[in-house]
Structure 1
Amino acid sequence: MAQSSDSDDGMDEFMEKFKTHKYKNAFNESNWEEEFDKVPMFMKTAPEEIDPLKYPELACIQSIVHDDDRPPEEQAKSLKNEGNEYFKEKDYKKAIVSYTVGLKKKCSDSDLNAILYTNRAAAHFHLGNMRSALNDATAARKLKPDHIKAIIRGAQCCMELQDYAQALQWCDEGLGSVPTDKKLLELRATADKQKRAAARDARKAKAKEKKERNEQETLLAAIKERGVKLHKPEQPQRRVSESQEEDDDDGSATAMAELHLEGLSTQETTGAQVYLDEQGVLHWPVLFLYPEYRQTDFISAFCENSSFIDHLAVMFGEELPPWDTDKKYFPQNLQLFFEDHKNGHLFEVDVQKSLLNILQQPRCSVKGGTPSFIVVVKESPFCKQFLSGKKVHRLK
């Protein structure tokens, strides 16, 4: 009785404190909603991380659910159920965490571990982590080879990874255990269809690649046969002496640049590329530059046998371009040049000559797959100013 009396006295003393000391943790009008949200029963959403100091009640519940003193099998089962609840809520990331912690318990129940792996595979699958999902499905089958859910998930992962042969293998192994499984039969039919389509597309792509490669090789051979040089700006150019330039003008010391497909890269920027027609004639994309007005003309298919005057007569015929405000760009008034990309010298073009004749000149090279020519009005003030200080050559 004395002990009860002492206890009662202690309670009386505790209650007496409220008369002089205000309870510090009491709810009030400003914080009651925040305080209620800390109580597990009234929580609207569970916190990402459970801080025991901030959420003591929730931490207590969690410690009961995940009591380390319980057998590993019970702990793993609780974590599996927790993961399943997250999965139902489509919170796949938290589900993965729960399943992972469950697997770390290393319980001796192989069936339970197989389920944990299969469920984690499903969560990874819904997050788009196909490789991780496939690894988990494989791990589940090692524990339980005939686990049909793991087999279906593995086949689905292979389908998403476009490994149709592997998907077929998963389906066949599963159907060996359950020959009438509807889902596996559907998956197998789809995998077989996709595998055949992929093989057909691969054959077509290979044939197309071979055809394009042959066409490019034929094209390069035609360019090389004509002696046309492709300029590769990414390679450092060696400096040449005046005597070497003279030799090159004669063509006696000029070595033909090695031809590569990279030298025909204009298609990416202009949509046009040199091509060889059925008669074996080359057609080049050609650029005309008008520095006086900072204008350009682009001819997508300039036949190598056509002369410059033929195109100039069309471009500056009855209707002159709107930027030619002084009406001076007539074919007979124009002077054309190409630039030697090695030293910047200009070479005058005979407009009566064909494109091929000019491209075969020793100092002429095609840059970026597109021959380019500068066009000015002969003897005009701009022409004199433009050519001033430049080294100009006449072709021999």
Structure 2
Amino acid sequence: MGLTSNKVLVLAIFFAIVLFIATVWLWPRLARQSWRAVSGRVGMLLATQLTIFASFGLAANQAFGFYASWSDLLGTETGQGVVVDHTAAGANSPIQVVSTSRVVGVSSALPQVAGQVQKVDILGRTTHIAAPAFVYLPPEYFQPQNRARKFPVAVVLTGYPGTAQALVDKLHYPSTAQQLAKSGKMQPTILVMLRPSVAPPRDTECVDVPGGPQTETFFAKDLRDSVMAHYRVDKTPASWGIIGDSTGGYCALKIAVHHPASYAAAVGLSPYYKAPIDPTTGDLFHGNKNLQNRANLFWALQHLPAPETSLLVTSSKVGEHNYKDTLKFIKAVQDTNVTRVSSIILPSGGHNFNTWKREIPSALEWLSSRLVSH
């Protein structure tokens, strides 16, 4: 049974209840002062608390999508994926479609009515990074009258550790985009949804690590090239945007600032503004001070040429730790007189899915208004 299986959660809750009842029932028998009785009390308490914490942990993981599997949780998932060649028609494609599904909340099974979510494997041809992803194709993509139409693209990134599946099932990006397009608030847009951690379990912070994963290049170049080779999308940066939450928000902003020739707009939901160094990241810069400075968006806005791009950042006055830094970032962008900046500031909201779901509809509407289609 997988980490995210409902059966695992139900079993954990069941054992927690059983152990709680057993502890209450057996406590009088364990009330003596002998070493066996004391050991029994300690064992029962520890077992009960362990199962309770396990239940809460499993429930939280299902709600927020931190880890996708046991190997992901234990840090034993180290492979970057294997590219499998299939038919001759698809052998040279940098994107392999693994499976397809309908958009949640849409009853029709017809792609031209319901759109489609494709589970794919993406290969970066210059970085040799292989990353799993989900691609949402709007209904218009399959309609005969749009055969020659090229669609705008929004790259959607999770936080760390995060799972791409959570962008579909928990944050509801495809269904939100479809509803916005249906109501005329957003143009039909292809969503490419994946995690920024392309070399799990390491958190590379979308940095080109010296001698390691070239994550920034993957998102700035390889991902775009792969999507353009497989789907009907426009090549110009005016048709490309990028959005993410937490670590994904930092990555989205940084990639747009560093590569305005790749993305016309970026959204950071609860982002931070410089790459941290901690046990999950390892040594990202290998003593390269210039690389470390570039990963600091405040430094980049002050010392690098101001990019022709549009940025949206979000925070909360109460509940978010990035509020003061977000106000500082807005001021830094304004001082460039070139880069454009907008914001969503909630009265209160934590660093969690519930807060981001309140921001995503407005953020997608803003992002769509900055992109063009042909």
TM-score (norm 2): 0.23
Whose RCO is larger (CA < 8 A, sep 6+)?
Answer: 2
Greater strand share, 1 or 2?
2
Greater helix share, 1 or 2?
1
TM-score (norm 1): 0.22
